[in-house]
Structure 1
Amino acid sequence: MSIRATTKRKGRPATGKGVPISVRLQPDQLERLDQWIEDDGGRFSRPEAIRQLLEHAWGRTVASRGIKELPSRLGDPI
């Protein structure tokens, strides 16, 4: 009987529910996203920050999930 070596896969583990998408951001958009993450203390990865911004844009309450409310500056026009 042989022993099989299991290698770890890179990236986030699949949840089985989400659909991966690819979004191309312009350099100024990426800079703003990274600045928002930094201003918030760096607690989000880029994908998680985009999910949080979507939730905020859709007007869902994040307080019920134990996440502090997003800054009001998100409502400022571009």
Structure 2
Amino acid sequence: MKAARKNGTKKQRGRPATGQGVQIGTRWPERTVAAIDAWAGAQDDEPARSEAIRRLVEIGLGKSVPAKVTSSAEASSERAREMAGNTIDKLKDTKASPDDQVSRKRRLVKGPEEFQNIRRDRPNRK
């Protein structure tokens, strides 16, 4: 019969430690949790509650906010705006004054007043 050996380490129960920071467990009022969830839902990438709390703490401490993830739709709409501006610049009336040229370009980019309230990418004007 073999003699039992002890290696000096006992296997621990549960998940192994990750070693990635300090875990802080606190209780939050329901109104605060609802406000955090509403803030997270308003973000473009809709972070989880823990990530939203980390971002809000960084904002509160005055650190820079991590850049938001831009979707391909946002990038393509920005590119479309840029291309439209370049095309308008090529077709501008050179005889008009610079102020008139800027005013005309702004009107073309914003669109007719009838359609300004319908646009989804801009909040309704009051």
Q: Does 1:29 align with 2:12?
A: no
Q: 2:21 aligns with which of 9, 18, 31?
A: 18
Change (3 A) 1:42 1:14: farther
The gaps in structure 2 that reach 5 residues or longer are 1-14, 69-126
* Aligned-pair CA distance for 1:23: 1.7
Which structure has the larger Rg over C-alpha atoms?
2
**TM-score w.r.t. length of structure 1:** 0.57
Structure having the larger proportion of residues in helix: 2
| Aligned structure 1 segments of 4 or more residues deviating by more than 2 angstroms | none
- Does residue 46 of structure 1 match 2:49? yes
One-letter amino acid of the structure 2 residue matched with residue 50 of structure 1: I
Shift in CA distance, 23/42, structure 1 to aligned 2, threshold 3 Å: farther
Root-mean-square deviation (CA, aligned residues, Å) is 2.2
Q: Which residue of 2 aligns with 1:57?
A: 60
- Fraction of identical pairs, as percent: 39
Aligned residue pairs, count: 54
**What is the rounded CA distance, in whole Å, between the counterparts of 2:45 and 2:29 in structure 1?**
21
